């Protein structure tokens, strides 16, 4: 009954190349090397949406980051899922920037079904106003964001419109303070 | 097997709407944990209709420590000892990806021997974690021998790690730039001897536990997670590999020296509790091979850690690095603003990702299957809460 079938996955020449690139880019510390596969993903995004919508933050071997406005995030995510093969979110996190009066929300997307993409993590980020932090949820496209978005809601106070449960998850039920990962929340004694 | 979307909608509906009065008499609400001996510091509420579970709502957070916030107050090196607290049985792996991310941010090169020793420590530590998990899985299903044996054999690897790192459980061994110290004399021989003994023991485990008809009856065909659902839910580690997807970070995106190691990604296709309990076992076998190769290919001498600045810092930037831990991909997303302290640290841990599968698997199954489904998800409550 044990279907112990193992997989060798030998065709990793490309991955080795990528890791070599990673090392060289680190050691030389130059941004000149732009990996082909990663930039092709970004180029598809920029041609589909304009470069006004999709801002490329960086393209590194295995890692890409794009910045989109909040009202376009659903369309971009839909394109990423349907046309480029990203099928799950590894994490959803937020970073507070009080100086800009903004909070950045980052979705780290990756793929299990497409082998080429399995070594790749794309960071889809957007920035919302700190005082009116509302975002459309991506739960309909990526179910794996459900608990991550709930955590982002309580930790940074981002309200995900359309999410079925913007509720407490990790914090105590009687938590009556500001969201703790915002920068003005200070740990006592520090 | 119901459609996932349908199941999802039903879950939400039942959670948000008040159950009708007529139904209230039929359904019984049970609270599992946080004092339950097996659930760990974790609670989930279930509603049962007779023998069948119709509703499940996980409620983590009983051991939330605010690790991510704590990181913002300490510099990159000071963060190491407290970051391994979420999962002390796998403390080398949880600091591994942190070290990788900090190395990218601060542009530190790790010496080759340091990379090998680091991988060796993380493989040994994975064994420690998996054996502990297996012991609890055994006692969960009433198989007390399977509790005694793994916990006993776990001591072998703990002794090895104690000789290597100086501490039994929380090692703080991986640091940005390499490992804290070199291997002691005679460690290679000792390690090989114990791995050989352990491989014999693994055969005995298979005989007494995995081929046990009682264990098979309780796990085979229970809590099936199909390949499509596993992708949709974004589960990771052994849960993912049990559903037929051969994804392992060590293979998909080799870090340090893993592209020089020859090993197979172990996976199964059935996606039931049995597969989810078998995959970590197969991983332990594979890990023994990896340990042998690491000891073999390791350079005989050389530096094990790079020389660091007193307060290492790099230019402003960000990094996302992941490794394969005992519970799947473990990622760190670190944002640095150019100071010695990180601006933001986010842990994307396997436990937190896998627990999303719990409601989907429990709803519609029998209450008696709850232990075998819950613990097969390889869930570590403290790690999920961070």
- Number of A:B CB contacts under 8 A? 139
Q: Cβ contacts (< 8 Å) between A121 and chain B: which residues?
A: 320, 322, 331
Per the structure, the count of domains in chain A is 1
Instruction: Indicate whether A190 belongs to any domain.
Output: no
- pLDDT, mean over chain B: 86
Q: Which domain holds residue A81?
A: 32-161
B346, B352, B357, B360: best mutation site toward chain A, by most A Cβ within 10 Å?
Answer: B346
pLDDT computed for residue A29 by the predictor: 42
Instruction: Indicate whether A118 belongs to any domain.
Output: yes
Q: Find, among B36, B12, B174, the residue nearest to B103 by Cα.
A: B174
β-strand partners of A136 = A161
Instruction: Indicate whether A13 belongs to any domain.
Output: no
Query: What tokens were used for A176?
Result: 């009556």
Angle at B344 between CA B339 and CA B350, to 5 degrees: 135
CA distance A20 to chain B (A): 11
A7 and B231 in contact by Cβ < 8 A?
no
A87 and B259 in contact by Cβ < 8 A?
no
Q: Give the 3-state secondary structure of chain A.
A: CCCCEEECCCCCHHHHHHHHHHHHHHHHCCCCCCCHHHHHHHHHHHHHCCCCCCEEEEEECCEEEEEECHHHHHHHHHHHHHCCCCCEEEEEEEEEECCCCEEEEEEEEECCCCHHHHHCEEEEEEEEECCCCEEECCCCCCHHHHHHHHHHHHHHCCEEECCCCCCCCCCCCCCCCCCCCCCCCCCCCC
Section A77-103 average pLDDT: 89
Section B121-146 average pLDDT: 89
Instruction: Indicate whether A84 belongs to any domain.
Output: yes
B251 and A9 in contact by Cβ < 8 A?
yes
Residue in B240, B253, B343 nearest the CB of A62: B253
pLDDT computed for residue B345 by the predictor: 92
pLDDT computed for residue B4 by the predictor: 65
A12 and B251 in contact by Cβ < 8 A?
yes
Alpha-carbon torsion (B172, B176, B179, B180), positive or negative: negative
DSSP state of B182: P
- The answer to whether residues B380 and B351 touch, using CB atoms and an 8 Å cutoff, is yes
A12 and B259 in contact by Cβ < 8 A?
yes
B348 and A90 in contact by Cβ < 8 A?
yes
Q: How many other β-carbons are positioned within 10 Å of the β-carbon of residue B16?
A: 9
ipTM score here?
A: 0.83
Distance CA B98, CA B346 (A): 10
Q: How many helices (DSSP H) and strands (DSSP E) are in chain B? A: 17, 9
Q: Cβ contacts (< 8 Å) between A5 and chain B: which residues?
A: 267-269
A90 and B231 in contact by Cβ < 8 A?
no
Instruction: Indicate whether A69 belongs to any domain.
Output: yes
Q: Find, among B363, B310, B318, B347, the residue nearest to B1 by Cα.
A: B363
Minimal Cα distance from A120: which residue of B? B253
Q: Cβ contacts (< 8 Å) between B333 and chain A: which residues?
A: 91, 93, 106, 108
pLDDT computed for residue B323 by the predictor: 92
Angle between helix B187-205 and helix B273-297 axes, rounded to 10 deg: 160
A187 and B268 in contact by Cβ < 8 A?
no
- What domains can be seen in chain B, in order of their start residue? 77-311 (1.10.645.10)
Section A132-143 average pLDDT: 88
Q: Distance of CA A23 to CAs A36, B256, B316, Å? A: 16, 10, 19
Minimal Cα distance from A123: which residue of B? B320
Residue B214 pLDDT greater than 70, yes or no: yes
- The answer to whether residues B365 and B52 touch, using CB atoms and an 8 Å cutoff, is yes
Distance CA B185, CA B205 (A): 31
pLDDT computed for residue B39 by the predictor: 67
Instruction: Indicate whether A169 belongs to any domain.
Output: no
B232 and A87 in contact by Cβ < 8 A?
yes
pLDDT computed for residue A7 by the predictor: 43
B8, B212, B319, B320: best mutation site toward chain A, by most A Cβ within 10 Å?
Answer: B320
B276-327 pLDDT, tens digit each: 999 999 999 999 999 999 999 888 888 888 888 888 888 888 899 999 988 8
pLDDT computed for residue A82 by the predictor: 87
- The answer to whether residues A62 and A38 touch, using CB atoms and an 8 Å cutoff, is yes
A8 and B254 in contact by Cβ < 8 A?
no
A112 and B245 in contact by Cβ < 8 A?
yes
Query: What tokens were used for A83?
Result: 């046309």
- pLDDT, mean over chain A: 79
What is the length of chain A? 190
The CATH number of whichever domain residue A95 belongs to comes to: 3.30.460.80
Distance CA A169, CA A162 (A): 17
pLDDT band at B37 (very low <50, low <70, confident <90, very high): low
Instruction: Indicate whether A99 belongs to any domain.
Output: yes
pLDDT computed for residue A19 by the predictor: 45
Q: Where are the alpha helices (DSSP H) in chain B?
A: 4-16, 21-26, 67-71, 79-83, 91-106, 112-140, 145-165, 187-205, 213-219, 227-233, 238-242, 249-252, 273-297, 350-354, 357-362, 370-376, 381-385
Residue in B73, B320, B322 nearest the CB of A187: B73
């Amino acid at each position: 009954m044990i279907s112990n079938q193992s997989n060798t996955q030998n065709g990793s020449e490309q991955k080795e190349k990528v890791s070599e690139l990673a090392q060289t880019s680190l050691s030389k510390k130059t941004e000149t090397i732009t990996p082909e596969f990663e930039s092709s993903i970004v180029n598809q995004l920029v041609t589909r949406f304009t470069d006004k919508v999709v801002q490329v933050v960086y393209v590194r071997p295995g890692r890409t980051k794009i910045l989109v406005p909040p009202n376009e995030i659903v369309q971009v995510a839909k394109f990423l899922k349907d046309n480029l093969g990203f099928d799950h979110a590894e994490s959803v996190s937020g970073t507070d920037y009080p100086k800009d009066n903004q909070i950045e929300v980052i979705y780290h997307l990756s793929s299990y079904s497409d082998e080429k993409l399995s070594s790749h993590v794309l960071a889809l980020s957007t920035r919302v106003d700190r005082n009116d932090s509302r975002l459309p949820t991506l739960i309909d496209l990526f179910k794996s964001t459900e608990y991550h978005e709930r955590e982002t809601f309580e930790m940074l106070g981002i309200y995900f419109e359309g999410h079925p449960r913007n509720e407490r998850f990790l914090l105590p039920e009687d938590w009556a303070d500001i969201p703790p990962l915002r920068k003005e929340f200070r740990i006592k004694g520090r | 097997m119901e459609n996932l979307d349908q199941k999802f909608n039903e879950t939400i509906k039942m959670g948000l709407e008040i159950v009708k009065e007529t139904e209230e008499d039929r359904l019984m609400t049970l609270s599992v944990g946080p004092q339950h001996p097996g659930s760990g510091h974790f609670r989930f509420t279930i509603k049962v209709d007779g023998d069948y579970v119709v509703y499940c709502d996980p409620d983590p957070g009983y051991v939330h420590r605010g690790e991510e916030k704590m990181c913002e107050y300490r510099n990159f090196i000071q963060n190491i000892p407290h970051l391994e607290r979420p999962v002390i049985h796998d403390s080398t792996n949880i600091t591994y990806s942190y070290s990788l991310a900090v190395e990218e941010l601060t542009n530190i090169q790790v010496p080759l021997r340091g990379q090998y020793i680091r991988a060796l420590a993380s493989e040994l530590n994975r064994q420690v974690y998996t054996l502990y998990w297996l012991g609890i899985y055994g006692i969960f299903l009433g198989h007390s021998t399977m509790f005694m044996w793994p916990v006993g054999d776990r001591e072998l690897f703990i002794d090895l790690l104690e000789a290597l790192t100086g501490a039994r459980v929380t090692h703080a061994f991986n640091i940005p730039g390499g490992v804290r110290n070199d291997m002691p004399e005679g460690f290679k021989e000792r390690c090989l001897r114990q791995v050989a003994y352990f491989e014999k023991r693994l055969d005995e485990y298979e005989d007494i536990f995995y081929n046990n008809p009682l264990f098979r009856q309780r796990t085979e065909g229970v809590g099936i997670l199909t390949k499509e659902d596993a992708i949709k839910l974004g589960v990771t580690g052994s849960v993912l590999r049990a559903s037929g997807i051969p994804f392992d970070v060590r293979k998909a995106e080799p870090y340090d020296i893993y592209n020089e190691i020859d090993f197979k990604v172990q996976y199964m296709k059935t996606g039931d509790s049995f597969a989810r309990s078998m995959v970590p076992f197969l991983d332990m076998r594979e890990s023994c091979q990896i340990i042998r190769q690491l000891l073999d290919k390791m350079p005989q001498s050389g530096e094990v850690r790079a020389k660091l600045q007193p307060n290492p810092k790099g230019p402003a930037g960000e990094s996302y690095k992941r490794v394969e831990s005992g519970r799947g991909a473990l990622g760190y997303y670190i944002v640095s603003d150019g100071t010695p302290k990180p601006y933001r640290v986010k842990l994307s841990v396997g436990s937190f990702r896998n627990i999303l599968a719990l409601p989907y698997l429990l709803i519609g199954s029998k209450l008696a299957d709850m232990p075998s489904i819950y613990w097969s998800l390889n869930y570590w409550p403290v790690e999920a809460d961070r």
